[in-house]
A and B are shown apart, each in its own frame.
Chain A
Amino acid sequence: MSSFGECPISRFDYDRILLGHGSGGRLTSELIGKLFLPAFGGSPLAALEDAATLDIGMGSRLAFTTDAFVVRPIFFPGGDIGRLAVCGTINDLSVAGAVPRFLSAAFILEEGLALDDLRRIADSMQLACDEAGVELVTGDTKVVDRGKGDQVFITTTGIGLVPQGRSLSIANAKPGDRILVSGTIGDHGVAILSVREGIEFETLLESDVAPLNRLTELLMTECPSIRCMRDPTRGGVAGVLNELAVASRVEVRVTESSLPIRPEVRAACEMLGLDPMYVANEGKLLAVVPGEDADRLLSVARQHPLGRNAALIGSVVSGRLGLVTMQSLVGGERLVPVLAGEQLPRIC
C-alpha cells in the first residue's frame, strides 16, 4: 500500500483547460485562485466581487466590471446573446449597489455569420440598453476564420456610479440575516438546455434574461440595510450561497420547500437529473438582509415585475462556518456543496 505522503491525486490534475473551468464551480475558482490571482494580484481584484468598486477621489466611487459571452444557440427562447451580454454586465454592476451608466461591447465574429443575425443581435442590445437606461458608448470588432469561433462572441464592459454611503460585500452577512431570491430559479439554464437537447414541453420555457438595475435601485432605496446582493448566473444559487458562507464565515441554511421553481423547470431537471440549485439564472438576484427587514424587503420586491415571485429561502446562522446546508422537503438535513465542474446528466 502506498503511503499517504506520495499524493496520488496529481495524475488527475488537469494540465489543459476543460469545459468545467468555465462552469463557475470549483474548477473555475481554482483557475482564478491558482493562475490569475498570482499573476495579477491587486486588492480590488482579490476581493472577487462581481464588480470592482474604485475610489476616484472627491468622494466619488465607480463600479467597474467586464464579462464575456458565449452561448449556443445565439438566439434562444426569451433572449439572445446580445441581450445576455448587455444584461449580464448591467446586473454585475447593479448587484454591487451601483447605478449602471456606460457600456462597451467587443465582438468576435466568425467568417460567414449572416448580417441579418448580427443586426438582430445589435437591435436587441440597444433595446436592453433602453430598458435599463444605459448607454453603449464604445466598441470593437474582430473577425476570425470560419471554424475558429462559434458565430459570435461578445464581451461587454460596464461602468456605474456607486451612491454615497453604499457598501455591499459578500463578506457582510451576519447570523440572523435572511436570504431573498427575486424569483423562480433555473429558468435560463433550463431554457438553453431544452433548445440544445430538443426537449419540448407543453409550455415554452423562456430564459429570464433581464436588466436588474431598476429592481436593485428600488430594493436599495426602500431597504438600505441590505448587506449584499449577487446575481446567481453560472454555478446557480448554490454557487453564490457557498461564496457567501465562505466569505462571511457563516453557515447558510436553506429550506428546500421555500425555493421558487417553475413546474416546467422542475420537470426538466427531474428528467435530466439536474439540481435547479446549480442551474444558471440571468435575471435573478439574491439579497442578504438583516432579519428584522426581511419581510419588508420581500413585499417591496414583489411589487416590481421582476420580483413578483420573490421568496425568502433561507437564513444565516453561526453553526458550521463556510457551509451551506439544506432542510430537505421531508425534513432531513444535507449539505449543498460547490460543484466540482459541470453538472453531468445521470445515466438513469
Chain B
Amino acid sequence: MKFLDEYRDGPAATRIARAIGRIVTRPWTIMEVCGGQTHAIVRYGLDSLLPPEVELVHGPGCPVCVTPLETIDRAHTIANRPEVIFCSFGDMLRVPGSNGDLLRLKSQGCDVRVVYSPLDAVNLAGANPHRMVVFFAIGFETTAPANAMAAWMAKKRGLTNFSMLVSHVLVPPAIAAILEPPDNRVQAFIGPGHVCTVMGSGEYQSLAEKYRVPIVIAGFEPLDLLESILGAVEQLEVGRAEVENRYARAVREDGNPRSRQLIADVFEVCDRKWRGVGTIPRSGYRLRDEYRDHDTEHLFAVRDIETRESAVCISGDILRGLKKPHQCPAFGKQCTPHTPLGATMVSSEGACAAYHQYGKLEPLGIAAKVDPA
C-alpha cells in the first residue's frame, strides 16, 4: 500500500537500528508520548531491534487510559438512563469503572453504541428526536477537531437532544508534568505526530528550551519511529535539546489552522484530572459557555460519585514512565486484557495491553541483550 509499505521496509529498519547502535555511547531513556506509537513499537517489535543502551518508556498518550474514574463512572450512570443512547469509541467499552464496564451495561439492556465518528452520534440524535444522545468525547488534540465539529453541527441543526460528555486532554502540559518532578527519568521525547498535525510543532519549542530536552516529532510507522529514535539519540549524544520534525509529510509548524480555529471556537482550556497521574493545570478542554446546551454535565445532574480504584494497579507510575508494565505484580496475573484492573490494560494503545498482547510477558528477543547488564 502506498505511503505505508515504504515505511515498513525490513532492510531499511535494520540499517537505522545499526546507525543508532554506532552512535550510542551510554544509556538513554526516551519516552514516546502517544499511545498509537506505543502500540506500533510493540506490535513491530521495534524495541527488540534497538541497542541495549536505548530504553523506551511509554507515556500517558492513551486517551482511554487517562480518563478519570469519576468521569467513567459518571458516563456509566448516564448510560443507565432509559432515555439515553450512549455513544462511544470502541475501546472505551471495556474500560473498567468502579462497577464494571459499558459492555456489561449493554448486556443489561442499556443502549450503548460504538461510533466511528462523533458526527455519527449527531446523526443518531437527528434520527431519534425522542431520545437523548450522549457522546463520550475523549481524546487528545487529535480528536478535538472532529468532536468540536460535532458540537458545532448539533448547535447549527438545533439538536437539543445531543450532548457531549467531554474529557479532552492536552499533550504539552502532560510533558511538563512528567519533566517537573525530581524523580523523572525521561531524557528525550518522541513527539506525537497526529497531535502535531493539528496543533503544529511550534508549541513544543518552549518545552524543549525550558527543560533542555530533545523532542523529535514522529509518525506511526516502524521507520518513522526508528528515524526519530535515531534523531533523539543524535541530539542526546552531542548535548542538543531541540524540536525536530521527522514527520514533515504531515506536520507543519502551525499545524492545521482551520482545525485550531474550530477547536478555539467550541472549547476552552481547563484544569483536568488524569487517571493515575492527578490534576494537571490547564491540561484539558471543556465546552465553552455558548455550547452548554450540548454539555452533558450541564444537562444531567449526576450525584457525587464515590470511586474505587484497584489497590494493586500501578498504571500511574507506568503513565509517567517510572515503571514498565511487567514490573507490576498484577501484570499478566490478576490483570489481563480480559480482566483489566486499570485502563492501561484495556485500550490497545495502553502500554500494559500492548505489552500483554505483543509478548512482553517474558521479553522475547530482547532477553539475551538485557540480562547480562
Give the interface of A toward B (CB within 8 A). Answer: 1-2, 4, 7-9, 11-14, 16-20, 26-27, 197, 257, 263, 266-267, 270, 272-273, 320, 323, 325, 328-335, 337, 339-341, 344-348
**Is B103 at the interface (CB under 8 A from chain A)?**
yes
Number of A-B contacts (CB under 8 A): 154
With both chains docked as a complex, state the minimum distance between the C-beta of A29 and any C-beta of chain B, in angstroms.
Answer: 11
When distances are taken between beta carbons in the complex, the residues of chain B under 8 Å from A7 are 334
Complex alpha-carbon distance, A179 and B46, angstroms: 26
Complex contact A348–B96 (CB within 8 A): no
Within the complex, which residue of B63, B100, B337, B341 is in contact with A340, where a contact is CB–CB below 8 Å?
B337
Which secondary structure characterizes the binding site on chain B? loop
Complex contact A348–B142 (CB within 8 A): yes
- Shortest Cβ-Cβ A-B pairs, 5 listed: A332-B45, A335-B359, A330-B13, A344-B90, A334-B358
Complex contact B365–A347 (CB within 8 A): no
Complex alpha-carbon distance, A263 and B90, angstroms: 24
When distances are taken between beta carbons in the complex, the residues of chain B under 8 Å from A2 are 311-312
- Considering residues A9, A18, A267, A341, which has the most beta carbons from chain B within 10 angstroms of its beta carbon? A9
Complex alpha-carbon distance, A341 and B93, angstroms: 11
Within the complex, which residue of A1, A16, A272, A341 is in contact with B116, where a contact is CB–CB below 8 Å?
A272
Complex alpha-carbon distance, A345 and B348, angstroms: 9
Q: Given A8-B311, A348-B194, is A332 in contact with B46 using a C-beta cutoff of 8 Å?
A: yes
When distances are taken between beta carbons in the complex, the residues of chain A under 8 Å from B142 are 348
Q: Taking CB as reference atom, which chain B residue is nearest A331?
A: B10
Sample 13 A-B pairs with CB under 8 A, ordered by A number.
A4-B334, A14-B103, A325-B364, A329-B44, A330-B46, A330-B226, A332-B46, A334-B42, A335-B358, A339-B337, A344-B90, A344-B93, A346-B347
Complex contact B100–A12 (CB within 8 A): yes
**Which one of B1-9, B22-30, B275-283, B292-300 is at the interface?**
B1-9
When distances are taken between beta carbons in the complex, the residues of chain B under 8 Å from A18 are 103-104, 106-107
When distances are taken between beta carbons in the complex, the residues of chain A under 8 Å from B10 are 257, 329-331
Complex contact B46–A341 (CB within 8 A): no
Within the complex, which residue of A16, A257, A272, A328 is in contact with B43, where a contact is CB–CB below 8 Å?
A328
Q: Given A333-B45, A340-B336, is A12 in contact with B311 using a C-beta cutoff of 8 Å?
A: no
Complex contact A335–B312 (CB within 8 A): no
Complex alpha-carbon distance, A104 and B176, angstroms: 66
When distances are taken between beta carbons in the complex, the residues of chain B under 8 Å from A257 are 10
Complex contact A333–B364 (CB within 8 A): yes
Chain B residues within 8 Å of chain A by Cβ, number: 67
Complex alpha-carbon distance, A348 and B169, angstroms: 14
When distances are taken between beta carbons in the complex, the residues of chain B under 8 Å from A345 are 89-91, 114, 116
Complex contact A9–B46 (CB within 8 A): no
With both chains docked as a complex, state the minimum distance between the C-beta of B96 and any C-beta of chain A, in angstroms.
Answer: 6
6 extra interchain contacts, Cβ-Cβ under 8 A, other than A334-B43, A348-B36? A4-B330, A272-B116, A334-B44, A335-B359, A337-B359, A340-B338
Complex alpha-carbon distance, A49 and B13, angstroms: 41
**Is B340 at the interface (CB under 8 A from chain A)?**
yes
- Considering residues B194, B339, B361, which has the most beta carbons from chain A within 10 angstroms of its beta carbon? B339
Complex contact B43–A348 (CB within 8 A): no
Complex alpha-carbon distance, A13 and B339, angstroms: 7
Within 8 A of A (CB), among B155-203: 194
Which secondary structure characterizes the binding site on chain A? loop
Complex contact B9–A347 (CB within 8 A): no
Complex contact A331–B13 (CB within 8 A): yes
When distances are taken between beta carbons in the complex, the residues of chain B under 8 Å from A332 are 44-49, 222, 365
When distances are taken between beta carbons in the complex, the residues of chain B under 8 Å from A273 are 348
Give the interface of B toward A (CB within 8 A). Answer: 1, 4, 8-10, 13-14, 36, 42-49, 63-64, 89-94, 96, 99-101, 103-104, 106-108, 114, 116, 138-140, 142-143, 194, 222-223, 226, 310-312, 329-330, 334, 336-341, 347-349, 356-359, 361-362, 364-365
Complex contact A347–B338 (CB within 8 A): no
Q: Taking CB as reference atom, which chain A residue is nearest B329?
A: A4
Complex contact A333–B359 (CB within 8 A): yes
Within the complex, which residue of B49, B101, B140, B349 is in contact with A346, where a contact is CB–CB below 8 Å?
B349
When distances are taken between beta carbons in the complex, the residues of chain B under 8 Å from A11 are 99-100
With both chains docked as a complex, state the minimum distance between the C-beta of A159 and any C-beta of chain B, in angstroms.
Answer: 35
Q: Taking CB as reference atom, which chain A residue is nearest B45?
A: A332
Q: Given A332-B46, A334-B45, A335-B364, is A347 in contact with B91 using a C-beta cutoff of 8 Å?
A: yes
Within the complex, which residue of A20, A331, A346, A348 is in contact with B103, where a contact is CB–CB below 8 Å?
A20
Complex alpha-carbon distance, A8 and B309, angstroms: 10
With both chains docked as a complex, state the minimum distance between the C-beta of B25 and any C-beta of chain A, in angstroms.
Answer: 24
When distances are taken between beta carbons in the complex, the residues of chain A under 8 Å from B103 are 14, 18-20, 341
With both chains docked as a complex, state the minimum distance between the C-beta of B24 and any C-beta of chain A, in angstroms.
Answer: 18
Q: Given A2-B312, A9-B339, A347-B89, is A330 in contact with B49 using a C-beta cutoff of 8 Å?
A: yes
Complex alpha-carbon distance, A11 and B101, angstroms: 10
Complex contact B311–A27 (CB within 8 A): no
Complex alpha-carbon distance, A19 and B204, angstroms: 43
Complex contact A8–B310 (CB within 8 A): yes
With both chains docked as a complex, state the minimum distance between the C-beta of A348 and any C-beta of chain B, in angstroms.
Answer: 5
Q: Given A273-B348, A330-B8, A333-B45, is A347 in contact with B334 using a C-beta cutoff of 8 Å?
A: no
When distances are taken between beta carbons in the complex, the residues of chain B under 8 Å from A346 are 36, 89-91, 347-349
With both chains docked as a complex, state the minimum distance between the C-beta of B53 and any C-beta of chain A, in angstroms.
Answer: 18
Within the complex, which residue of B91, B143, B362, B365 is in contact with A344, where a contact is CB–CB below 8 Å?
B91
Complex contact B89–A266 (CB within 8 A): no
Complex contact B93–A325 (CB within 8 A): no
